[in-house]
């Protein structure tokens, strides 16, 4: 079998860098250990440069069809690598001098590798490997702050939930294999069981198990309980990664399985997913209203956003024929737009959180009182990110919501309309807590006076994200074009 | 058109935004209060000059769009940067910058607590860009962006600088109602977009959608549903009875400048949207809905005047009077004829002048007495003759005395409602009733304003104020108020100042409904 190394080049670069970091860290001492951070940053950017031109090549596949590189995969890899580079960038200051500085980078790169494999997977086993590769290193990172009880709790909860979902996933695969006799998504789609009007119950049970496993990954209700505790206890850069890249990988996997593997059964999983979507966004938003800790608030807000992003997946495949193909393309586009813009806003918010966590490690919202006077620019940027997350123009989030909203209505189904309305109503709720934080920053009594120190690296990263979020809000066309290019090829 | 003429509208719209960015971005050492005032004055002032320049170079005989820019913006979803001005938007456009500039001057004298000038002026400038942009947008997405841009600054103005106690409640209520409305509006916009077809493409362009709508491209059921969505969105914000309950709270709790902007400009965005979008794009649905709108409008007029009679808080009284005045605007729109819509547009502008001025006066009264309770005021004519005189002048203008500006809009709206557009000929009897009740409303309006004057201006000052020294109208207040006071008189004597501008554009709209 010939292996197309060019197609695999980004993954190879990340693998190489991960190994290099692991070995190098043994030799490095003191301040030079920061080198591993630079290597990781460089490798993600290199991989980005390698993968981007593939947008102009025809879709290919290699490893006997296990690894597919269509434009959807390329665009998703661009997003994942950009996110990874950003997370590595902002993880510099908080991890500097940490006992496990090198290990952190190594594990993070492994997780990044998993996210890269996810959009290229077309086989349940491959999806399983990708999913575990994303999760397993993160279990370890979550516990890196060994002496901190919160970190231990974070790691343990994350681990137990993760392993449970892995078990459920494997069990789901076995059920589906039993019903269809295949693990390749295309073969599953072609199997009689997956095309029947009344599929065997065992098959649907299998699908439910897969959805549950990915539900854990994207922190959909009721599989979300780990997320707030893990985000709060884990090193904050990992929380940023989990809430963006790892979550996006979950959506990609879910989309691939349901859309490619079980298109004929969308009438079964569609409403099921729709119900989860409504539940997720509502629970996320309502519980976020009661949060006092900023990272927990971001965690619940990210749960709410997961609910929004489930919408296109719930509706996809509900229409047949050419009109259906157009609708599906629009839905996938809206999901990609949402993921891309959401990444910018969420990472920006996390960057600010990391920046002030040096002075206020607990990151209570109370601590941020009066930040508008004590750190004017970070406070301004954070306001921008939060308003963007709430979907209010002129910051970027409105376009993400707008695209999703239009796509959901355009699908023309009752489910689409219901989900679209649920989403906007939820956006209204979400503004309470986003604006609540903004208000505290500008009108609250400062706990103490004096300028809040803000690491320069983080300041630069925050500025970049802020420019991004404003730019997208005013001129979203480039993001829309990128998402437009993300065409998912079913058969290759 | 020359380069400047092409981009003049955009420059005027975005200049305040630049000011807002400057105010926030420049370091603290540079941004002392004086510099903030300067930037705020300069940007809103230059924008005002540009808008006046546009008014001078405006072709008054044309009913179409002028100073248009139609540039590519987000091709992927078919949204374009399309702005333009016609006779309906021009007066509101100029008014926006005028009011903002006057508010800046006023705030130099009376900066609301907790002072914090930088964010305060940055928010006002941001608000200005949003409002001005709404009046010139000809693309639904652009319109939506500007519309939403107004929301957050206004929320913060009320929540942070409002009167202590209930400001947070009022701010949240304002925010929720408005956002709730815009959801339905957005749903309507997207439905229009998905149903439109121009050479195989969907469009968000208001002018193209109007053309499609008038050619009957939208079926009756669809059009009525979309109209209902837009109606709900706009009506909450106008606000029409029974969606008005956010307004008294928001107005009462907002800082003076916030109330002025809210009353003078923000409320007009919603009625403007009716004339700009609902009527031309969905004419048949508008015809079906017009009687309902008319009835709600008249209920608002009567209800608001009765509510005014029961108010004990001066600011709340003015706020409720706004509900009534906006009822006249909606009544004018519901006639669908030239007279009525012209009356509506004039009433919009004039209400901006008069009620804006009234909120200034109430704010200044409060700053002196530290109370707005009518029962505790009295004898202001003795304490501060100038302030009392101005209050009398504006109240009388507001109740619609001929010779002052308030008369024309309501007069035309009532006149139009007696004889509604031809497409409404089946409802003539209903409209006769509406006119009758509207007239009763004007009587009640006169009643509560005169009663207000009697209680506040006349009589003897209450004992608790003995020994207090009150400063009558201050120099900065004079500067801030003079333009409005003069305009109220000038428009009252010479209403063609507005009517000549709005006429042809209104005729274009009224023409859809048979004149």
Distance CA B320, CA B162 (A): 18
Whether the CB-CB separation of A433 and A388 falls below 8 Å is answered with no
Q: Reduced to 3 states, what is the DSSP secondary structure of residue B69?
A: strand
Element (H, E) at A39: helix A34-51
Band of residue A358 on the pLDDT scale cut at 50, 70, 90? confident
Element (H, E) at B83: strand B79-85
Is residue A77 in some structural domain?
no
Total Cβ atoms within 10 A of residue B310: 10
Distance CA A142, CA A146 (A): 9
Band of residue A202 on the pLDDT scale cut at 50, 70, 90? very high
From chain B, the residues in CB contact with A372 under 8 A are: 119
Beta carbons of B28 and A376 less than 8 Å apart: yes
In this predicted structure, the answer to whether residue B50 has a pLDDT above a threshold of 90 is yes
CB contact, 8 Å: B113 with chain A?
A: no
Q: How many domains is chain A built from?
A: 1
pLDDT average, residue stretch B392-413: 89
Is residue A101 in some structural domain?
no
Instruction: For A404-445, write each residue's pLDDT tens digit.
Output: 988 998 888 889 989 998 998 898 889 889 988 988 887 777
CB contact, 8 Å: A439 with chain B?
A: yes
Distance CA B365, CA B388 (A): 9
Beta carbons of B151 and A372 less than 8 Å apart: no
Say what percent of chain B tops pLDDT 90: 37
Instruction: For A284-326, write each residue's pLDDT tens digit.
Output: 999 999 999 999 999 999 999 999 999 999 999 777 777 788 8
Q: Which of B437, B342, B360, B366 is nearest to B398 (CA)?
A: B360
Say what percent of chain B tops pLDDT 70: 99
Identity of the residue in A442, A476, A481 whose CB atom sits nearest the CB atom of B119: A442
Distance CA A44, CA A31 (A): 22
- Report which DSSP code applies to B262: I
Is residue A302 in some structural domain?
yes
Q: How many domains is chain B built from?
A: 1
- At residue B163, the pLDDT reads 82
Is residue A220 in some structural domain?
no
Give every CB contact of residue B275 below 8 A, 6+ residues apart in sequence. B88, B333, B341, B344, B345, B509
Max Cα-Cα span within chain B: 77
- In this predicted model, which residue has the larger pLDDT, B114 or B360? B360
Band of residue B1 on the pLDDT scale cut at 50, 70, 90? low
Beta-bridge partners for A68: A61
Instruction: For B224-237, write each residue's pLDDT tens digit.
Output: 999 998 988 888 87
From chain A, the residues in CB contact with B144 under 8 A are: 393
Beta carbons of B151 and A480 less than 8 Å apart: no
> Mind telling me how many Å the CA of A340 is from chain B's nearest CA?
16
Identity of the residue in A380, A421, A477 whose CB atom sits nearest the CB atom of B75: A477
Give every CB contact of residue A306 below 8 A, 6+ residues apart in sequence. A218, A219, A220, A224, A247, A251, A280, A281, A284
Element (H, E) at B85: strand B79-85
pLDDT average, residue stretch B285-306: 91
- Is the link from the previous residue into A13 a cis peptide, with omega within 30 of 0? no
Beta carbons of A428 and B176 less than 8 Å apart: yes
> Domain range spanning residue A276?
267-492
ipTM, two decimals: 0.85
A-B CB pairs within 8 A amount to: 71
CB contact, 8 Å: A424 with chain B?
A: yes
Distance CA A408, CA A418 (A): 9
Whether the CB-CB separation of A334 and A312 falls below 8 Å is answered with yes
Element (H, E) at B241: none
Buried b (16+ CB within 10 A) or exposed e, B384-421: beebbebbbbbbbbbbbbeebbbbbbbbbbbbbbbbbb
Say what percent of chain A tops pLDDT 90: 62
Buried b (16+ CB within 10 A) or exposed e, A446-481: beeeeebebbebbbebbebbbebbbebbeebbebbe
CB contact, 8 Å: B49 with chain A?
A: no
- At residue B2, the pLDDT reads 67
Token duo for residue B495: 């209403």
Whether the CB-CB separation of A69 and A59 falls below 8 Å is answered with yes
Instruction: For A207-259, write each residue's pLDDT tens digit.
Output: 999 999 999 989 998 889 999 999 999 999 999 999 999 999 999 999 999 99
Cα distances from B424 to residues A368, B230, B419, in angstroms, run 59, 21, 9
Q: Which positions 347-406 of A are in contact with B (Cβ < 8 Å)?
A: 372, 376, 380, 387, 392-394, 398-399, 402-403, 405-406
Say what percent of chain A tops pLDDT 70: 99
> Domain range spanning residue B25?
3-512
Give every CB contact of residue B232 below 8 A, 6+ residues apart in sequence. B181, B184, B185
Distance CA B161, CA B249 (A): 14
pLDDT average, residue stretch B460-475: 81
Is residue A258 in some structural domain?
no
Is residue A262 in some structural domain?
no
Give the chain A residue whose CA is nearest to the CA of B17: A394
CB contact, 8 Å: A445 with chain B?
A: no
Is residue A87 in some structural domain?
no
In this predicted structure, the answer to whether residue B177 has a pLDDT above a threshold of 70 is yes
**Residue from B190, B193, B204, B229 to probe the interface with A (highest A Cβ count within 10 Å):** B190
**Residue from A334, A338, A431 to probe the interface with B (highest B Cβ count within 10 Å):** A431
Distance CA A122, CA A119 (A): 8
> Mind telling me how many Å the CA of A237 is from chain B's nearest CA?
28
Band of residue B112 on the pLDDT scale cut at 50, 70, 90? confident
From chain A, the residues in CB contact with B75 under 8 A are: 477
- At residue A434, the pLDDT reads 92
Alpha helices in A444-486 (DSSP H): 456-474, 477-485
């Amino acid at each position: 079998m010939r292996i197309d190394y060019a197609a695999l080049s980004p993954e190879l670069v990340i693998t190489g860098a991960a190994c290099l970091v692991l070995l190098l860290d043994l030799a490095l001492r003191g301040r030079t250990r920061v080198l591993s951070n630079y290597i990781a940053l460089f490798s993600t950017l290199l991989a980005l440069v390698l993968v981007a031109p593939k947008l102009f090549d025809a879709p290919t596949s290699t490893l006997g069809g296990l690894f597919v590189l269509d434009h959807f995969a390329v665009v998703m890899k661009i997003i994942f690598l950009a996110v990874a580079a950003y997370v590595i960038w902002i993880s510099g200051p908080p991890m500097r001098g940490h006992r496990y500085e090198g290990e952190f980078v190594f594990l993070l790169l492994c997780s990044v590798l998993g996210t890269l494999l996810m959009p290229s997977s077309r086989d349940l086993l491959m999806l399983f490997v990708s999913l575990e590769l994303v999760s397993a290193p993160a279990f370890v990172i979550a516990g890196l702050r060994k002496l901190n009880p919160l970190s231990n709790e974070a790691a343990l909860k994350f681990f137990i939930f993760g392993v449970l979902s892995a078990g459920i996933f494997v069990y789901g695969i076995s059920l589906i294999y039993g019903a269809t006799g295949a693990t390749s998504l295309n073969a599953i789609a072609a199997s009689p069981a997956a095309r029947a009007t009344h599929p065997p119950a065992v098959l649907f049970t299998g699908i439910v198990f897969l959805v549950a496993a990915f539900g854990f990954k994207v922190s959909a209700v009721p599989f979300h309980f780990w997320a707030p505790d893990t985000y709060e206890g884990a090193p904050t850069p990992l929380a940023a990664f989990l809430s963006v890249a790892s979550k996006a990988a979950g959506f990609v996997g879910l989309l691939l399985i349901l859309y490619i593997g079980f298109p004929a059964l969308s009438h079964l999983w569609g409403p099921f997913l729709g119900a989860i979507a409504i539940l997720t966004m509502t629970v996320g938003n309502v519980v976020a209203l009661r949060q006092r800790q900023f990272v927990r608030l971001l965690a619940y807000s990210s749960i709410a956003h997961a609910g929004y992003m489930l919408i296109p997946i719930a509706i996809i495949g509900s229409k047949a024929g050419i009109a259906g193909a157009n609708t599906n393309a629009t839905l996938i586009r809206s999901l990609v737009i949402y993921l891309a813009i959401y990444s910018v806003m969420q990472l920006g918010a996390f960057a600010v959180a990391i920046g002030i966590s040096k002075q206020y490690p607990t990151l209570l919202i109370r601590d941020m009182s009066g930040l508008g006077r004590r750190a004017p620019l970070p406070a301004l940027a954070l306001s921008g990110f939060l308003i963007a997350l709430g979907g209010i123009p002129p910051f970027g989030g409105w376009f993400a919501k707008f695209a999703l909203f239009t796509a959901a209505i355009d699908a023309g189904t009752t489910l689409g309309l219901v989900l679209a309305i649920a989403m906007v109503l939820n956006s209204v709720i979400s503004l309470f807590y986003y604006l609540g934080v903004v208000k505290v920053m500008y009108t609250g009594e400062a706990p103490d006076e004096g300028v809040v120190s803000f690491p320069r690296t983080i300041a630069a990263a925050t500025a970049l994200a802020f420019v991004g979020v404003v730019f997208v809000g005013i001129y979203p066309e480039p993001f829309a074009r990128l998402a437009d290019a993300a065409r998912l090829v079913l058969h290759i | 058109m020359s380069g400047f003429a092409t981009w003049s509208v955009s420059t005027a719209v975005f200049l305040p935004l630049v000011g807002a960015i400057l105010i926030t971005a420049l370091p603290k050492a540079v941004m002392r209060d004086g510099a903030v005032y300067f930037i705020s004055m300069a940007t809103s002032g230059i924008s005002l000059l540009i808008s006046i320049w546009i008014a001078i170079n405006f072709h008054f005989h044309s009913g179409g769009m002028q100073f248009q820019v139609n540039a590519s913006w987000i091709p992927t979803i078919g949204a374009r940067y399309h702005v333009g001005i016609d006779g309906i938007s021009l007066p509101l456009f100029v008014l926006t910058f005028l009011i903002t500039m006057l508010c800046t001057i006023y705030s130099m004298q009376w900066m609301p607590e907790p002072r914090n000038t930088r964010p305060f002026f940055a928010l006002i400038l941001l608000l200005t860009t949003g409002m001005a942009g709404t009046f010139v947008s000809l693309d639904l997405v652009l319109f939506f962006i500007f519309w939403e841009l107004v929301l957050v600054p206004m929320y913060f103005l009320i929540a942070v600088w409002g009167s202590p106690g209930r400001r947070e409640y009022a701010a949240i209520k304002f925010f929720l109602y408005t956002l709730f409305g815009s959801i339905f509006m957005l749903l309507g916009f997207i439905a229009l977009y998905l149903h439109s077809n121009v050479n195989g493409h969907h469009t968000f362009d208001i002018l193209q959608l109007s053309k499609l709508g008038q050619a009957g491209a939208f079926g009756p059921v669809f059009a009525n549903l979309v109209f209902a969505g837009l109606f709900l969105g706009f009506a909450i914000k106008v606000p029409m009875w029974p969606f008005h309950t956010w307004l008294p709270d928001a107005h009462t709790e907002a800082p003076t400048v916030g109330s002025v902007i809210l009353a003078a400009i923000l409320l007009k965005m919603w009625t403007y949207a009716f004339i700009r979008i609902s009527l031309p794009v969905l004419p048949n649905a508008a015809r079906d809905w017009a009687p309902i709108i008319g009835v709600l409008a008249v209920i608002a007029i009567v209800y608001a005047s009765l509510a005014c009679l029961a108010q004990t808080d001066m600011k709340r009284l003015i706020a409720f009077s706004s509900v009534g005045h906006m009822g006249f605007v909606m009544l004018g729109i519901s006639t669908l004829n030239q007279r009525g819509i012209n009356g509506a547009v004039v009433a919009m502008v004039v209400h901006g002048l008069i009620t804006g001025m009234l909120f200034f006066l109430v704010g200044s009264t409060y700053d002196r007495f530290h109370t707005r309770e009518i029962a505790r005021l009295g004898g202001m004519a003795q304490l501060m003759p100038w302030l009392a005189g101005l209050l009398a002048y504006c109240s009388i203008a507001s109740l619609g005395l001929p010779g002052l500006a308030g008369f024309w809009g309501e007069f035309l709206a009532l006149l139009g409602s007696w004889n509604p557009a031809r497409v409404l000929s089946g409802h003539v009897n209903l409209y006769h009733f509406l006119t009758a009740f509207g007239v009763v409303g004007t009587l009640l309006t006169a009643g509560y304003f005169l009663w207000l004057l009697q209680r506040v201006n006349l009589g003897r000052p209450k004992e608790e104020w003995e020994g207090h020294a009150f400063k009558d109208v201050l120099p900065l207040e004079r500067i801030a108020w003079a333009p409005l006071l003069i305009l109220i008189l000038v428009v009252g004597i010479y209403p063609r100042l507005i009517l000549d501008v709005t006429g042809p554009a209104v005729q274009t709209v009224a023409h859809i409904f048979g004149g």
